[in-house]
Amino acid sequence: SRGGTGTMIGRYGLITAAHNLYCHQHGKPLKYCNFYFGAVSANSCWYQYSGKFSYTVYESFQNGYDSRNDIGYVIFDSPVGNETGWFAWEAGDDYTVDMEVNHVLIYDSRRHLQSVTDVQYVLDSAQIYWNGWISGAEGGPVYIWDEGAEFPVLMAVYTSHDSNGKGYGRRLTTQVVND
């Protein structure tokens, strides 16, 4: 059994860390998975999906672990987003994202929004990083919230952390969100 976090970005689409779509126990990609939306415990969730789905992982991500390209897009056969809602997303160019990414919001393992500042963007790799990490949040959303905006906008996926306490995210690209 494996857990992970993801974010709906449309009626049929969910964005997550690619390693959440890989069975480490059996050494291969998942063929079946239950999805629990709004889970507050092992026995309580807002909506459960156990139907058919497909997914794509991007660029040089290899099954297993690679924080640089650890992003996957799940496509459900049914409009799950009609039950759960979904977030707006942004896939800006390198310059725009570099200028915007200095403050993000991340959900922690208790589903509370945490503010993270001093976020750095690595040009040409679509990777962001910051000091500090949040346990249990891998695959979860990383938002920007522009001044005056009513809602946050999804801009990356929280993918991993290292032994030095640095958190990593992989930003959305046009290829990912247009699939």
| pLDDT tens digits, 49-86 | 998 998 887 755 555 455 566 788 899 999 999 999 88
CA distance 19 to 29: 9
**Given this model, what pLDDT does residue 81 score?**
93
Instruction: Give residue-wise pLDDT tens across range 95-130.
Output: 666 666 656 667 665 666 677 767 777 766 677 777
pTM of the model: 0.77
Phi-psi map region of 169: left, alpha, beta (phi>0 left; psi -120 to 50 alpha): beta
**pLDDT of the residue at 59:** 57
Alpha helix ranges (H) inside the chain: 81-84, 94-100, 174-178
Give the model's confidence band at 1: pLDDT under 50 very low, under 70 low, under 90 confident, else very high. Answer: very low
Between residues 24 and 44, which one has the greater pLDDT?
44
